[in-house]
Amino acid sequence: MSTRDATIVANKNHADQVQADAVLLRVQIGEAKTASATLQKKMDDTKAESDQLKADLDKANAIIAGLQAQLDKTRVIATDFQTQMEEAKVVSIKHQGEVENAVAQVAVMQTQLNEARADAAQLQTQLADSKAQIADLQAKLDKDEKVIAQRQKTPAKN
């Protein structure tokens, strides 16, 4: 075989190799496009879930704010009842003739105070539950934001 024939065969072999590499590269590009689309879908799903968690967190915060306002109102009522009860006790001591009336008022106020305290305890429990839910939602949100950040940093593989 002559040098020229050897060169032609070598060039043909090289061209065949380049063509085979081009086919392989096209396949890899197709796979990368598919993987990229899948990754984008997952990122979109994660973003949607993150947005939902943020909305849930905002809702929980609004509920907590409402519960806190109710708790504060109940505390004011309880303090007011306590003050009224103390005033009723003073009146009963000063006016021995009105002892029975004052005792009845104190009993009613004590019942109201107990009810207010029970309401305050219930609101405190609800507030604690809501704070636990917020902590849970915040943890999920933080996790999803880390996943989003990780996915945005990770380049698509070829």
Specify burial of residue 117 (Cβ count, 10 A radius: 0-12, 13-18, 19+): middle
- Mean pLDDT of the 101-106 span: 81
1-10 residue pLDDT tens: 789 889 999 9
- H helix count then E strand count, the chain: 2, 0
55-82 residue pLDDT tens: 999 999 999 899 999 989 999 999 998 9
pLDDT for position 97: 62
Mean of all residue pLDDT scores within the chain = 88
Q: Which two tokens stand for residue 45?
A: 């799903």
5-34 residue pLDDT tens: 899 999 999 999 999 989 999 999 999 999
pLDDT for position 27: 93
CA angle 117, 118, 120 (to 5 degrees): 60
| Distance (Å, whole) CA 71 – CA 103 | 29
Q: Where are the domains of the chain?
A: 1-42, 50-158
pLDDT for position 98: 67
pLDDT for position 17: 93
Report DSSP letters for 11-23, one per residue.
HHHHHHHHHHHHH
- Mean pLDDT of the 95-118 span: 83
pLDDT for position 132: 92
Report DSSP letters for 41-98, one per residue.
HHHHHHHHHHHHHHHHHHHHHHHHHHHHHHHHHHHHHHHHHHHHHHHHHHHHHH-GGG
